[in-house]
Each structure stands twice: as structure tokens, then as C-alpha cells.
Amino acid sequence: MRNYWQDLKKEFAGYNSGKLMKDLMAGMTVAAVALPLALAFGVSSGATAAAGLITAIVSGFSISLLGGAFYQISGPTGAMAAILISIIAQYGISGVFTATIMAGILLVLAGVLHLGRLTAYIPMPVIAGFTSGISVIIALGQLDNLFGVTSTGDSALEKFISYFSGAFSPNWISLAIGMLVILFMVFYPKKWNAVVPASLIAIILATAFVMLFHLKVNLVGEIPSSLILSERFSFAEFDLSSIRNLLAPAVSVAALGVVESLLCGASAGRMTGVRLNNDRELVAQGVGNILSPLLGGIPATAAIARTSVAIKSGAQTRLTGIFHSVILLISMLALGPIMAQIPLSALAGVLLVTAWRMNEWDTIKYIFSRKFEGAILKFLATMAATILFDLTIAILIGVVIALILLVSRLSKLEVNYDRVDPSRLRNQKTPLSPVYDHAEVVYITGAVIFANTQIITSMAERLSDKSAVLFSMRGASYMDISGAQAFLELLRDLQEKGIPVYICGVSNGVKEIMDRSGIVSCIGQENFYWSVERALNQ
């Protein structure tokens, strides 16, 4: 708390009416972007548009107030909505409320235990893969709203497959509205988007069109006139036995909250030059997710789209996020009847464009155009696992594949041989000892570990007729007990043949393993040198 107050004083140092107006204008701009997205993500999650709006208000306010940097704007996101679909299908909306509170507690614990740095260990292709997987789930989940139909199945993939198992009769008016929204957002000038978001204009036009011509399409429905929804977390209905069943979904929600919020903070930190306090941000995200279900909201995370809009709109302090929440609350109370008339197909159009744009196309193009096979495998495996399973399994699969590929690359041992050439020695004033007339330098690069014992053992035949052997091990990064045993056997074999052995340029870590494994005592401390040149000049 002491650090929090110190950071607040620094953030608001020199604050004046000019900065206040910048925060207010930035908050209004972010609210314009957040309003259609909050409604859309609420619907796409399987909850309601009202739940998405409450989430944006509650989490936006509380997380902005307590967050790890001034620029983070939180609310419902497409990635979170995607994983909520399966949770609602299996446990209902009450299960989502409970899982969200459990996830909030896990996020607070993650912040207290300083786990914010763990995202640094998730490879870039894995993150890109799960983002693309989430975008596919979002797109598939919006087909019902786009076509004005009702499919069957628990997951977005099952619902998509159900289109081909029975009569498919789309509402063509609904489809036309959705397609017009998509086209409007695609061709809307970017310079105008900075002033008024295309998604907001598209929603307004679609709603006005439906109300004017009384079109029969599915609508958002009732928007509450209260900040507290009738359908919310209730302690009276809470069952301790549900904790065990909802632990896995809660972990998924918390894991996504960690990944999405901290990656958003890292990106925004590069834009502003202000570093995110990861652990404080996780605590703030936890508090926001604990409060949201108490009022009827769903899980929230920091949102890169809204955060970047805040920064580009001139946000000065965390008041931008607070103003954005207040403006959303005023909009809900004042414009609720009009919001209720928004066609779901228009929201589907907004989300389909959002799903396309949330893909990290620059990263995808880079790894595929450069033909990084390992990165491509991690990307595709994580994307497929995200679509077929869930976030935690997808991240786990991606990280495991990354670790296997990393171990495979690190375990590669490169061995090069070179005869001793006196002309290459610097400051050589006296002739080399005759022992080096037919000597060989062996350059070892990589990890001397269990996977490479066969390579080490096979050196014996190559070196059996040399007058001396100098092992240059400056490139040996690591040695384990299996590698040490194989190397010791090689040295003993050379000694039995009467071949002098010298070890050069070994690191302290590898030297310690050699000492403990008996290699140093086998050839003698005096036969260790800083470099091959020093060994030859002995």
C-alpha cells in the first residue's frame, strides 16, 4: 500500500484542469469503444448484454482505481467470452459467477505471491496460437446471431457442426444487417475511427434501421435500470461442493486473466514508457473479478483495444478508466430502452470483425514466411488445442512443445576437429614441443548431457592415433552426470594409449561438475588451461 500511494502521488503530481479535461475526453472516447463491445461480449459469452455492460462498469472502475499502471482499461473481452461458453453450457450462469469469484481469489494470490513474471516464460508463437484459436471460437460463436438461427451443442465447434446435420434456415434480414455492419467497419476510414469508433456508428445505424422499419430480428433485450442485476451471485445458493467441480474452470479464467492483462500491460508499457507493476495489476484484476459477479457481471481482463484507445486519446491518469465506467453507467441508465432494440446480428458483425483483427497477423506472417518450423508447430498446436479444448490445456500443450523443442536444440552437441597449426599462434617465439607434431584440437560446443553420450564415446576412435589432444570447451554450456561419465571414459581411454590430454577454456560451472565427477583428478589440475594457445605455449 505504501508503494501504491507513492505511485499515486507521482502519477498526479502537477495535475491540473488541463489534464483533467484530457482524462475526461479520453474516458468518453474509450466508453464509445467499450459500449458496443461490452454488449457484444456479454451476449457472445452466453450470458446477457446487461451482464457484459455491468462487467465493464464494475471492473473498469475498480481495476482502474487499483491497477498497476494508469493506462490499463479492463472489461469483458473476446478471449474471456470464448471460454465462458463452455462453462455456461455445463454449469449455467450461476457456475460462471462462482468460478469468477474463485478466479478473482486466485488472481489476488498470484499477485501476492509475485507470480506476475511467469508470462515471460510463455513463448510468442504460443501466445499468437491461443489468440488465433480464441478468434476462431468467437467467430464460430457468432454465427447463430449472424444468421438469426439457433444451433445445438455445448461448444462453438459443436454448434457449427450442427448446421450441417439438419435444416438450416437463416433469417436473411438478420444476415443482411450483419454483413452491412461488417462492410461498414471494414471500409470506415481509419482517421475517422480515431474520433468516433466505427463499431458504435454501425450499431447506431443498424438499431435505427430496425426500429424505423420494425424488422423481425433477434434483439439484445431488456437493459436494466439498476447497477445490480437480478441474476447475480448469491451466497444463499452457494454450494461448497461446487468448488471442486468449478476449480478447473476457475483456473482457466484466472490463467487467461493473468496472460491477457499482463500482455496488455507489456504492450501499453512500450507505448507510454511507463512500466506496469505486474503484481499490483494481478491483485487489482482479482478484486475486480470478485466484485463483478456480486452485481451480476462476468469475468474481466485488461483489454488491449480499449487500453490503446485510452493512450492514443491522451489519457493522463487512471481517472480515464474511472470516467469511462461512469459514462457507461450513465449510458445504461439513460439509454437502456434504446440499447434493448440493438439487433444481435449487428453485434455479431462487430465481433466477427473484432475476431479477425485480434489475430497477431504480423507475428503469423513472420513465422510462416521465415519458415520457423518449431514456431509454426507451437502456433498450430496451441491454436488447435484452444479450439478443441480450453485455454489452460492449450497453453500447457504449447509450453510443453516449446520445452521439448528447446531441450532438443540445447541438447545438440557440435564437435569440430582441427590439427595444431603453429602459424596461427600469436607471439610464438620458440618452436612447439614435438608432442604437438600430430596433435588435434577438439572444439566442443553445446551441452554435454545424457543425450550426447554416444557422440562423446565415438571420439575415441578418431583421436586414437594423435600425439596429443586439446579439448577446447569454451562453447560447452552444461555438463550433467551422464555426460561427465562418458567424457571421463574417453579421457581414460586416451590415457591408456599414452596420449596427453589438455582441457582448455572450460567454464566454472562445467569445471565444478568435472571436479565432482573425477575428471579433474583423472588428468590433473595442471592440465587445465584458459585457452588452447596457453596450453601450446606451456
pLDDT of the residue at 133: 86
With vertex at residue 159, the alpha carbon angle to CA 157 and CA 164, rounded to the nearest 5 degrees, is 100
CA 124/CA 122 separation, integer angstroms: 7
What's the DSSP call for residue 450? G
Least confident of 124-133, 231-240, 435-444: 231-240
Return the beta strands (E) in 282-331 as ranges: 301-302
pTM over 0.85: no
Distance from the first to the final alpha carbon of the chain: 63
Cell numbers placing 48 = 446477457
Are 149 and 170 a contacting pair, CB within 8 Å?
yes
pLDDT bucket at 2, cuts 50 / 70 / 90: confident
pLDDT of the residue at 428: 57
Tell me the pLDDT tens digit for each residue of 526-536: 999 998 888 88
- Statement: residue 382 has pLDDT above 60: yes
pLDDT of the residue at 424: 64
- Statement: residue 236 has pLDDT above 80: no
pLDDT bucket at 245, cuts 50 / 70 / 90: confident
Q: What is the mean pLDDT of residues 467-487?
A: 93
- Statement: residue 361 has pLDDT above 70: yes
pLDDT of the residue at 83: 82
Q: Which amino acid is at 289?
A: N
- Other Cβ atoms less than 10 A from the Cβ of 245: the count is 15
23-to-26, 29, 322, 440 alpha-carbon distances in Å = 5, 10, 9, 71
- Statement: residue 467 has pLDDT above 70: yes
Residue with the larger pLDDT of the pair 433 and 451:
451
Least confident of 66-80, 182-196, 232-246: 232-246
Q: What is the mean pLDDT of residues 130-134?
A: 83
CA 483/CA 454 separation, integer angstroms: 9
CA 450/CA 250 separation, integer angstroms: 40
pLDDT bucket at 430, cuts 50 / 70 / 90: low
Are 38 and 55 a contacting pair, CB within 8 Å?
yes
Q: What percent of the chain has pLDDT over 70?
A: 96
Q: What is the mean pLDDT of residues 506-526?
A: 94
Q: What is the mean pLDDT of residues 57-65?
A: 95
Count of H-run helices and E-run strands, the chain: 24, 7
- Statement: residue 425 has pLDDT above 80: no
